[in-house]
């Protein structure tokens, strides 16, 4: 075997090595993306768990939340900001979920579930009033999503 033939074999081996490396990196990227999506979904489940725990563990918070949903204006003046803060937490949570979904890190199924639940809350008179006060603090894309999809959605039985 002469030097030219050895060079050709070396190029062939090098090309195979490059292809194998690219395939390996593709697998690693795919696994990394799956892991990132899984972490995002777990963080969102934890967020929702904390919201529900906060509402169920405190009779005072639960009373304020449900009374405010019915009629924010009927709440004592000093409790309205507290009610708004509860809802801002919900709004910011869904906004985060919206942004993660838009980036492909939160599944359609899970995001739709969160959006339906938050939409049902947002359609309550007190939540709608709180939203009107808070919407300018949200990202424009998320505010448009809420206005176009959640506030106009029909209730499902």
Residue 156 covered by a domain: no
Is residue 127 situated within a structural domain? yes
On whether residue 57 sits in a domain, the answer given is: yes
Domain that residue 24 falls in = 3-150
Total number of domains constituting the chain:
1
- 27 belongs to a structural domain: yes
- Residue 140 falls within a domain, yes or no? yes
- pLDDT recorded at residue 46: 77
Can you give the chain as a three-state secondary structure string?
A: CCHHHHHHHHHHHHHHHHHHHHHHHHHHHHHHHHHHHHHHHHHHHHHHHHHHHHHHHCHHHHHHHHHHHHCHHHCCHHHHHHHHHHHHHHHHHHHHHHHHHHCCCCCHHHHHHHHHHHHHHHCCHHHHHHHHHHHHHCCHHHHHHHHHHHCCCCCCC
Is 155 a domain residue? no
The tens digit of pLDDT for each residue in 36-93 reads: 766 767 776 777 768 777 777 888 989 999 999 999 999 999 999 999 999 998 899 9
Q: Is residue 14 part of a domain?
A: yes
In a domain, 68, yes or no: yes
């Amino acid at each position: 075997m002469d030097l030219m033939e050895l060079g050709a074999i070396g190029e062939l081996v090098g090309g195979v090595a490059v292809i194998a490396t690219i395939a390996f990196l593709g697998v690693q990227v795919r696994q990394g993306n799956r892991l990132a999506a899984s972490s995002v979904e777990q963080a969102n489940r934890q967020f929702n768990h904390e919201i529900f725990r906060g509402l169920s563990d405190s009779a005072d918070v639960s009373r304020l939340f449900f009374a405010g949903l019915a009629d924010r204006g009927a709440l004592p003046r000093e409790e309205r900001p507290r009610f708004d803060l509860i809802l801002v937490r919900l709004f910011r949570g869904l906004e985060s979920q919206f942004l993660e979904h838009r980036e492909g890190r939160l599944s359609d199924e899970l995001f739709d579930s969160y959006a339906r639940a938050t939409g049902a809350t947002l359609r309550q008179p007190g939540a709608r009033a709180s939203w009107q006060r808070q919407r300018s603090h949200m990202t424009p894309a998320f505010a448009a999503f809420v206005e176009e999809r959640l506030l106009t959605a029909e209730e499902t039985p």
